[in-house]
Copies of this chain bind each other. A is one copy, B any other.
Amino acid sequence: MKARGLVVMKFGGTSVADPEKILRAAERAVQARRRARGVVVVVSAPGEMTDELIGLAHRVSRDPDARELDALLATGEQMSIALFAMACRSHGARAISLTGPQAGILADERHTRSRILEIRPRKILQELASGKIVAVAGFQGVNAAADVTTLGRGGSDLTAVALAAVLKASHCEIFTDVKGVYTADPRIVPDARKIARISYEEMLELAGAGSQVMQARSIDLAHRYGVRIHVRSSFKPAPGTWIEKAGEGPMEEATVTSLALDKGEVRLTVVEVPDKPGVAARVIAELAERDISVDMIVQSAPTHAGVNDISLMTPRPGAEAAKAALETLSRSIGAKRVDLTEGVATITVVGTGFRRHAAIAAKMFGILAEAGINIHMIATSDLKLCCVVDSRHSESALRALHKAFGLARAPRGNPSKRRRRPC
């Protein structure tokens, strides 16, 4: 008998960028089919195709209609699933491709950033029951007008997690071009270690802190439905990182799991804001209305003159528009000016129990001070500690923290050190 239940596997664009890669990915699905009760594969558009299609759209229209853009973008995943199903057959398995509409993925009206409302898996279950591998187009659904919609960034991961939830899969495998979640970016910290297990909560913080492995949206969905995720390499057979419920390990201890570095943001400071109730809220509302993402809001203590500074971090694209919006607001609330600071980066320490164990924050600030690195902003929660530092010092700061928190890869033959370590 098959030991394992149903598995949902998701292959990203780099994993299906050309026919040879599609054949290799299909081979993994066919191997998994031998061990599992059933396999559903979610596939992204090949390589850079989505970006190329967006480029084409902008060559025929300055402001492409959202419905038509979705109809255009949906073709990328449709190509992938058809080729994927053919490739599965080449490896001797039966397989069928289903578009988002055919797979019963019902979504709302919001073209280019649609949300999944419901999945009606009748067709998928029918094809699984007949023994087929089912290749489902990621990133797409169908709205009430029978038009295809797309789910926005990270949409294929979302499709995979949502299918795993609805089909009660044993887990969801996310195949990608990295080997898993690391204690820090291995390009910056050469001895960074692959993490075997991480909690949904920690992974959410990492996603928020600039980690590119998975979008917060999919992790959040997996958390709510209890879908275990296995992030792993498309090209190597070794296990990757499991994202699952916290709970194992010493409960009361604080742990540091991973470090993240985000150089993609700038700092905006509204200078000399009158210290009156509701002013900070207005600043944030101003940006939220414009869909501008805001991170790390810090308000200084008021001066004797009854004013304070409000600083926040925001992604570089759109920062000028955010600054302009805040300048208009500044005039109406009587603030002095708005400063935009480039050349800053955010370092985030992700783990658990930080609120109960101030020692970790103290250690972080101590390490940075020792390295002569000035901290511009600080934000803390139970699961993360964030510092904004000068961008030019950020990589050496990351390496220093990685070493001081003992996250380095354990030498061979010492498996106990591979575990997450208490601090």
Contacts and interface: CB of A to CB of B under 8 A. Distances in A.
Interface residues of A, number: 37
Nearest to A147: B102
A378 B237 CA distance: 67
A69 B79 CA distance: 9
Highest count of chain B CB atoms <10 Å: which of A19, A64, A67, A71: A71
A22 interface: yes
A41 to B, nearest CB: 13
Given A102-B146, A146-B102, A23 B87 contact: no
A368 interface: no
A90 interface: yes
B65 A72 contact: no
Given A59-B19, A60-B19, A146-B102, A65 B86 contact: yes
Nearest to A73: B82
Highest count of chain B CB atoms <10 Å: which of A65, A68, A75, A85: A68
A72 B87 CA distance: 13
A81 interface: yes
A167 interface: no
A85 B65 contact: yes
B78 A65 contact: no
Contacts of A67: 96
Contact of A23 (B60, B90, B99): B60
A340 interface: no
A127 to B, nearest CB: 11
B79 A75 contact: yes
Interface string A370-388: 0000000000000000000
Highest count of chain B CB atoms <10 Å: which of A60, A78, A83: A60
Contacts of A83: 56-57, 60, 68, 72
Contacts of A85: 65, 68, 71
Highest count of chain B CB atoms <10 Å: which of A20, A65, A146, A147: A65
A63 to B, nearest CB: 9
Contacts of A82: 57, 68-69, 71-72, 75
Contact of A53 (B59, B79, B96): B79
Interface string A22-46: 1100100000000000000000000
A79 B53 CA distance: 9
Nearest to A60: B87
A83 B19 CA distance: 26
A90 B60 contact: yes
A409 interface: no
Contacts of A355: none
Contact of A97 (B62, B68, B79): B68
Interface string A129-162: 0000000000000000011000000000000000
Nearest to A74: B78
A99 to B, nearest CB: 8
Contact of A86 (B26, B57, B74): B57
A79 B96 CA distance: 22
A300 to B, nearest CB: 48
Contacts of A62: 90
A65 B93 CA distance: 12
Contacts of A56: 19, 79, 83
Interface of A: 19-20, 22-23, 26, 53, 56-57, 59-62, 64-65, 67-69, 71-72, 74-75, 78-79, 81-83, 85-87, 89-90, 96-97, 99, 102, 146-147
29 contacts: A19-B56, A19-B59, A19-B60, A20-B59, A22-B60, A26-B60, A56-B79, A56-B83, A57-B86, A60-B83, A60-B87, A60-B90, A61-B89, A65-B85, A65-B86, A67-B96, A68-B96, A68-B97, A71-B78, A71-B82, A71-B99, A72-B78, A72-B79, A72-B82, A75-B75, A75-B79, A75-B82, A78-B78, A102-B147
6 nearest A-B pairs in the assembled complex, by CB-CB distance: A19-B59, A72-B82, A75-B75, A61-B86, A71-B82, A60-B87
